[in-house]
Amino acid sequence: MMLICKRLLWTIPILWMVATITFALVRVVPGGPFDAEKHLPPEIVANIKAKYHLDKPVIEQYILYLNRLAHGDLGVSYKYVNRTVNDIIGDALPVSIQLGATALIIAIVIGIPLGTFAAVRRGTAYDLAAMAISTIGISVPSFLVGALLIYIFGITFKILPVALWESPSHMIMPALTLSFLPTAYIARLTRASVLEVLQKDWVRTARSKGLSLQSTIIKHVLRNSLLPVLTIIGPLTAILITGSFTVEYIYAIPGMGRFFITAVINRDYDLIMATSLIFAVILIACNTVVDMAYTLLDPRIKVKS
């Protein structure tokens, strides 16, 4: 409980720093939110700037922004007129969480057994095959995986929808595409970690006492080798549930990932700052959960409160 409270307290200055740095960066970048192919007359630009308080000195804009933020108001979108950033995030984030969580489950369910299997069968053809698969998973970009899956399952065999977000079956290909890279990472990390633990004296002792390989792996080895995996699952979760630009783009999914890119392209200041803050909040939350999970997996670890 103390850990959670302390982390929560630390979150405030961290978020303030993220907000401040992002606020400064978006205003330094050349090009403004209302630059368009057709330049607007100065009178119109003046009206727009007044509407969004962009006519005020930067320091005043900053204070206004922090004041809004303190009240839970992430601002308004300059691109999507009449929509608040809270609305935009509120619509998109649940979709990304749904997709990201599914991809994470797939990655864990496939990645950990694959890595363990490769470690146990080290040096065999199985190991080589498993690691080849994971190397491909790391190397092949998701837009290519997505395009291939669409071509094979959507266009050639027509057994899965090509794209869109209409039913559970529409989630299969995007979730597989999104899970490809984390599955490979988890598999490789698990393999390395399991190999290391398998060299330990106590594993040899357990085996010499007659414990089966299966029991040794499940009861002893995995529990000890999962700590490094757990470490990357924190940031991995944050990355997955805040959405992937590529996967959402390819499959036309109304998630949040696209805003990390399009908000910058559109110079949509408040939306850029909101995506950064949301990512920071989720990352902090995931890392806190991971830290808590350490103590459950390995009682020797005690978190200093």
Binding site for another protein (CB under 8 A): 30-32, 34-44, 46-48, 50-52, 79-83, 87-88, 91-92, 147, 150, 154-155, 158, 161-165, 249-255, 258, 265-267
Length of the chain: 305
Which is nearer to another protein, 169 or 215 (by Cβ)?
A: 169
Phi and psi at 84, nearest 5°, equal -85, 160
Which is nearer to another protein, 64 or 292 (by Cβ)?
A: 64
Angle at 150 between CA 144 and CA 151, to 5 degrees: 90
**Start-to-end Cα distance in the chain:** 9
Which is nearer to another protein, 16 or 52 (by Cβ)?
A: 52
Q: CA quadruple 141, 114, 106, 103: dihedral positive or negative?
A: negative
Q: Which amino acid does the sequence have at 266? A: N
Least distance between another protein and beta carbon 93 (Å):
12
Whose structure tokens read 């998701």? 142
From CA 120, how far away is CA 69, in angstroms rounded?
51
- CA nearest to 229, candidates 294, 134, 156, 163: 294
Least distance between another protein and beta carbon 270 (Å):
14
Which is nearer to another protein, 141 or 228 (by Cβ)?
A: 141
Which is nearer to another protein, 30 or 168 (by Cβ)?
A: 30
Q: CA quadruple 294, 299, 304, 305: dihedral positive or negative?
A: positive
H or E element that contains 46: helix 42-51
Which is nearer to another protein, 65 or 78 (by Cβ)?
A: 78
Which is nearer to another protein, 220 or 267 (by Cβ)?
A: 267
Least distance between another protein and beta carbon 17 (Å):
26
Which is nearer to another protein, 40 or 303 (by Cβ)?
A: 40
Least distance between another protein and beta carbon 59 (Å):
23
Least distance between another protein and beta carbon 140 (Å):
17
Least distance between another protein and beta carbon 32 (Å):
7
- Residues sharing a CB contact under 8 Å with residue 257, sequence separation 6 or more, in sequence order: 96, 242, 243, 244, 245, 246, 247, 248, 249
Least distance between another protein and beta carbon 248 (Å):
9
From CA 126, how far away is CA 132, in angstroms rounded?
10
Least distance between another protein and beta carbon 169 (Å):
13
Within 10 Å of residue 176's Cβ, how many Cβ atoms?
Answer: 20
